[in-house]
Amino acid sequence: MRQYKHYDEYGYGRWSVVRKTDNKPIGWCGLKFHPTENYIDLGYRFAQKEWGQGYATEAGIASLDYGKLAFDVNQVVGRTASGNAASIRVLEKLGFAFWKKAPCEGIKDSLFYRISL
pLDDT in tens, 22-61: 999 999 999 999 998 899 999 999 999 999 999 999 999 9
Compute how many other C-beta atoms are within 10 angstroms of the C-beta atom of residue 85. Answer: 10
Domains of the chain, residue spans: 6-116
Is residue 86's pLDDT more than 90?
yes
Q: Give 50-56's long-range contacts (Cβ < 8 A, gap of 24+).
A: 50/19, 50/26, 51/86, 52/86, 55/17, 55/19, 55/26, 55/27, 56/29, 56/87, 56/90
If you classify domain 6-116 with CATH, what class do you get?
alpha beta
pTM: 0.91
Compute how many other C-beta atoms are within 10 angstroms of the C-beta atom of residue 38. Answer: 7
> What pLDDT score was predicted for residue 7?
84
